[in-house]
Amino acid sequence: MKQNESYTGRINRKVQKKLRIIAAAAGREPADLVLKNATFVNVFSNELSHGDIAVAQGLIVGIGVYHGLRELDMTGHIVLPGFIDAHIHLESALVSPSEFAKAVLPHGTTTVITDPHEIANVMGTDGVEYMLQATEGLPVDVRFMLPSCVPATPLDESGAALDFRAIDSFYDHPRVQGLAEMMDFPGVVAADTQVVEKIVAAQAHHKKIDGHAPGLSGNELNAYISAGVYSDHECSTLEDALAKLERGQYIMIREGTAAHNLQTLLPLLSEQYADRCMFCCDDKHPSDLLEKGHIDHIVRQAIAQGADPIRTVKVACHNAARYFLLNNRGALAPGYLADFVIIDNFQDFTIETVFKKGEVLYENGRVAPFDRPQIAPYLTQRAHNTFHVAPLTADSFAESRPRGVIGLVPGEIVSRDAGYACAIDVKRDILKMAVVERHRNTHHIGIGYLQGYGLRAGAVATSVSHDSHNIIVVGADEADMAAAANRVVENKGGIVVMEHGKLKAEVVLSIAGIMSDEPLEQVNRALEQAKEAAMALGVRSGIDPFMTLSFMSLPVIPTLRLTTRGVFDVASQKYV
């Protein structure tokens, strides 16, 4: 009986709310908020429309002529739907989800779709639960795609291994939209049973499945899509994107910190293709968030390069909402959430005010205060105790045979095969690189060489190394490599620059070794100081010293990568 009364009470409250919405929409009662004389992007008619926008109970209830308890004159401004990032790893911002929300609100982002596979590779399902709790009730709506590849491939040594059973219960969470990027595309094409199980389980829950298949083509691409993969964000050429789009995949045009694909894929923002496109950042470092922005930066760039403004805005909000079945987002129309952005004009694209469910969250350069989510103590403790590594010495990085040389490709996260080396040769820009397993104290250390990084002395180490987040260290001296890696462990994670045994700079990332407890601005200052220290030791101009390293151990990106077991050729699927 008590349960029935509770249910009846909930229904009554919802009925009262709905009656209020209908009364305000019909004009019988004043709306809570009215944007008077609004010029707004109409994503349905693909034009600028005009009228008053009325809001009640957090919803847009009408477009026309309205009066409200609060009225704002929009003359001379343009109203847009709130932006949606279709694919991002929140961990890449190196700060807590609360700090991330605080950073992107001024840029008009009201919803993001995140894949927590970075922290899941460290903490397993506890990592997914940590992120769900850390994002509960944030002013930016955080939706989840469940990690599909933990580890990314069987070659990795992660902190966890998640099969379809491990993640299945999370599909019932109201903020889970589907299965995240299926990076193990070789496993899909080869019909690996464990990989296919994850796809089938997601489909059993009627969920979306995102893709990650750079350069896949022909019958292998057909097999990948036929398995049930609906999208791709790894297109670095127009030909690759069109091949996937023509076969029915949605294309996430990525412009982040590590990868810049907008200029190449700009032709997709045409009348012919744009409806199958979304914007995403994938990875976004603190400096980019602070200096350039978020989805607004992509929109601004696209318009500046000649893309139609209305079509571009639609790609930034409506298309992602439709793809992820977020049916009350991504448009300014009755029944949609009152998530909107006020800008000055399309040319300058200055964001002046951001609303979430009809409440002002950003205005006059200030983000409205909000409560930080509460995280279970056991998860907080677990997240701050993820390193299990024995102390390292210079001898830990000794080698007895030639090792493969990974050649950097300027401006890309792909690499090239640069042959073999048997010793550090600074004059030829050949540095020693190692990946140290840090989750289970296995003492596994993969050793190889790196060319094109530029370091002339010292060492750089980081625990941000996609996706298993073992410690990756590169150096001109084995003793400095050991000192840098040991300091990372001492800090419970982060980035370290070392020279002659002396600490030159560091960024402490004590949440699972990949995120900081500190404010974004503080983390950014430490990160920029560390970059300066690395550059002073010779890291080449134009290279992000840490973002570059962070992808060198991910064995799903061509050509050569370094795992805890050695240098691996992604194309041939063999160690070299």
pLDDT at 1 over 50: no
| Whether the predicted pLDDT of 2 surpasses 50 | no
Q: Is residue 8 very low, low, confident or very high in pLDDT (cuts 50, 70, 90)?
A: confident
Domain boundaries, the chain: 2-76, 81-362, 387-575
Q: Which amino acid is at 296?
A: D
pLDDT band at residue 388 under the 50/70/90 scheme: very high
Domain 2-76 = CATH 3.40.50.2000: no
**With 70 as the cut, is the pLDDT of residue 504 above it?**
yes
Burial 492-525 (b: 16+ CB within 10 A, else e): bbbbbbbbeeeebbbbbbbbbbbbbbbbbeebbe
Averaged pLDDT, 262-278: 98
Q: What pLDDT was estimated at residue 5?
A: 65
Q: Compute, in degrees rounded to 10, the torsion defined by CA atoms 376, 380, 382, 387.
A: 170
Angstrom CA distances, 127 to 85, 155, 160, stand at 21, 21, 10
Q: Write a three-state SS string for 62-100.
A: EEECCCECCEEECCCCEEEECEEEEEECHHHHCECHHHH
Distance from the first to the final alpha carbon of the chain: 68
Task: Select 81-362's CATH number: 3.50.50.60, 3.20.20.140, 3.90.380.10, 3.40.47.10.
Answer: 3.20.20.140
The Cα angle at residue 104 between residues 113 and 368, in degrees rounded to 5: 120
How many residues can be counted in the chain? 576
pLDDT of 410 reads 82
Q: What six digits make up the tokens of 299?
A: 């929109």
Structure tokens at 562: 């370094």
Q: What's the burial of 406, exposed, middle or buried (CB within 10 Å: 0-12/13-18/19+)?
A: buried
Q: What is the three-class DSSP state of 144?
A: strand
Which residue matches tokens 């019958």?
Answer: 219
SS (H, E, C) 408-473: ECCCCCCEEEEEEECCCEHHHCEEEEEEECCCCCCCCEEEEEEECCCCCCCEEEECCCCCCCCEEE
Q: In the prediction, which pLDDT does 499 show?
A: 98
pLDDT on residue 340? 96
Predicted TM-score (pTM) of this structure: 0.94
Encode pLDDT of 290-329 as tens digits. Answer: 999 999 999 999 999 999 999 999 999 999 999 999 999 9
Mean pLDDT of the chain: 96
Q: Is the pLDDT assigned to residue 252 strictly greater than 70?
A: yes
What angle separates helix 218-226 from helix 238-246, to the nearest 10 degrees? 50
SS3 256: coil
DSSP symbols for 297-352: HHHHHHHHTT--HHHHHHHHHHHHHHHTT-TTSSS-STTSB--EEEES-TTT--EE
pLDDT for residue 154: 82
Please give the pLDDT value at position 211.
97
> Given this model, what pLDDT does residue 152 score?
82
Q: What is the pLDDT of residues 204-231, one digit of tens each?
A: 999 999 999 989 999 999 999 999 999 9
Determine how many CB atoms are found less than 10 A away from the CB of residue 13.
Answer: 10
- Reported as a single tens digit per residue, the pLDDT across 119-171 is 999 999 999 999 999 999 999 999 999 999 999 878 889 999 999 999 999 99
Handedness of CA 9, 11, 12, 14 (dihedral sign): positive
| Listed residue (276, 265, 193) closest to 227, CA to CA | 193
Which among 108, 107, 41, 44 is positioned nearest to 79, based on CA atoms? 41
Alpha carbons 334 and 242: distance in angstroms, whole number? 35
Please say if the pLDDT value at position 112 is more than 80. Answer: yes
Instruction: Identify the H or E element spanning 417.
Output: strand 415-421
